[in-house]
Amino acid sequence: MNSVEIKKDIYWVGGIDWDLRNFHGYMTQRGSTYNAYLIVDDKVTLIDTVKHYLRDEMFERISEIIDPSKIDYVVSNHVEMDHSGSIPYLMKKCPKAKIVASPNGVKGLKKHYGDSYNYKTVKTGDTLDIGKRELNFLLTPMVHWPDNMLTYCPDEKILFSNDSFGQHLASSERFDDEYELDIIMEEAKKYYANIVLPYSMQVQNELKAASELDIEIVAPSHGIIFRKYIDKIVEKYKKWSSNKYDKKALIIYDTMWKSTKKIAYAVQNGFEENGYNTRMLNLQYNHISDIMTEVLNAEYICIGSPTLNNNIMPTVASFITYLKGLAPRDRKGLAFGSYGWGGQSIGILHEELKDCGFDLLEDIKINYIPSEKQLDEIKNNIIEQIS
Ligand code: FEO
Q: Is the pLDDT of residue 371 over 80?
A: yes
Ligand 1 pocket check for 80: Cβ under 6 Å: yes
Q: What's the 343 CA to ligand 1 centre distance in angstroms?
A: 41
The reported pLDDT for the residue numbered 311 is 98
Q: What's the 21 CA to ligand 1 centre distance in angstroms?
A: 15
The reported pLDDT for the residue numbered 326 is 96
CA-nearest residue, atom 3 of ligand 1: 80
Q: What's the 103 CA to ligand 1 centre distance in angstroms?
A: 18
Ligand 1 pocket check for 222: Cβ under 6 Å: yes
Do 248-386 and 4-241 have the same topology in CATH?
no
Ligand 1 pocket check for 51: Cβ under 6 Å: no
For 292-325, how does the pLDDT look when each residue is reduced to its tens digit (9 = 90+)?
999 999 999 999 999 999 999 999 999 999 999 9
For 230-281, how does the pLDDT look when each residue is reduced to its tens digit (9 = 90+)?
999 999 999 999 989 999 999 999 999 999 999 999 999 999 999 999 999 9
DSSP output for 195-226: IIGGGHHHHHHHHHHHTTS--SEEEESSSPBB
CA-nearest residue, atom 1 of ligand 1: 163
Contact present, 197 and 242 (Cβ < 8 Å): no
Ligand 1 pocket check for 294: Cβ under 6 Å: no
Query: What are the residue ranges spanned by the domains of the chain?
Result: 4-241, 248-386
DSSP output for 91-123: HHH-TT-EEEE-HHHHHHHHHHH-S-SEEEE--
Ligand 1 pocket check for 48: Cβ under 6 Å: no
Q: What's the 145 CA to ligand 1 centre distance in angstroms?
A: 8
State the closest ligand 1 atom to the C-alpha of 34, by its place in the atom list counted from 1. 1
Query: What percent of the chain clears pLDDT 90, i.e. is strictly above it?
Result: 98
Phi, psi of 152 (to 5 degrees): -120, 135
Q: How far is it, in rounded angstroms, from Cα 164 to Cα 150?
A: 9
Ligand 1 pocket check for 78: Cβ under 6 Å: yes
More confident residue, 1 or 59: 59
Q: What's the 110 CA to ligand 1 centre distance in angstroms?
A: 18
Could you tell me the pTM of the whole model? 0.96
The domain 248-386 is placed in CATH, from the list 3.30.70.1140, 1.10.260.40, 3.40.50.360, 3.10.290.10, at: 3.40.50.360
State the closest ligand 1 atom to the C-alpha of 166, by its place in the atom list counted from 1. 1
Ligand 1 pocket check for 41: Cβ under 6 Å: no
For 353-364, how does the pLDDT look when each residue is reduced to its tens digit (9 = 90+)?
999 999 999 999
The domain 4-241 is placed in CATH, from the list 3.90.730.10, 3.30.390.50, 3.30.160.270, 3.60.15.10, at: 3.60.15.10
Q: What's the 158 CA to ligand 1 centre distance in angstroms?
A: 20
Q: How far is it, in rounded angstroms, from Cα 261 to Cα 30?
A: 30
Ligand 1 pocket check for 164: Cβ under 6 Å: no
Looking at residue 311, the DSSP 8-state letter turns out to be B
User: In terms of Cα–Cα distance, which of 71, 36, 74, 76 is closest to 56?
Assistant: 36
Pairing, β 277-282 against β 248-253: parallel
Confidence class for position 72, pLDDT limits 50, 70, 90 = very high
For the chain, give the mean pLDDT. Answer: 97
Dihedral of alpha carbons 54, 56, 59, 60, sign: negative
Q: How far is it, in rounded angstroms, from Cα 290 to Cα 281?
A: 10
Q: Which residues are catalytic?
A: 24, 78, 80, 82, 144, 163, 191, 222
Confidence class for position 376, pLDDT limits 50, 70, 90 = very high
Output Rg (C-alpha) for the chain, integer angstroms: 24
Query: What percent of the chain clears pLDDT 70, i.e. is strictly above it?
Result: 100
CA-nearest residue, atom 2 of ligand 1: 80
State the closest ligand 1 atom to the C-alpha of 145, by its place in the atom list counted from 1. 2
The reported pLDDT for the residue numbered 208 is 95
Q: Is the pLDDT of residue 56 over 80?
A: yes
User: In terms of Cα–Cα distance, which of 117, 116, 135 is closest to 126?
Assistant: 135
Q: What's the 369 CA to ligand 1 centre distance in angstroms?
A: 46
Q: How far is it, in rounded angstroms, from Cα 73 to Cα 53?
A: 22
Ligand 1 pocket check for 352: Cβ under 6 Å: no
Q: How far is it, in rounded angstroms, from Cα 318 to Cα 320?
A: 6
State the closest ligand 1 atom to the C-alpha of 221, by its place in the atom list counted from 1. 1
Q: Is the pLDDT of residue 138 over 90?
A: yes
The reported pLDDT for the residue numbered 1 is 73
Confidence class for position 168, pLDDT limits 50, 70, 90 = very high
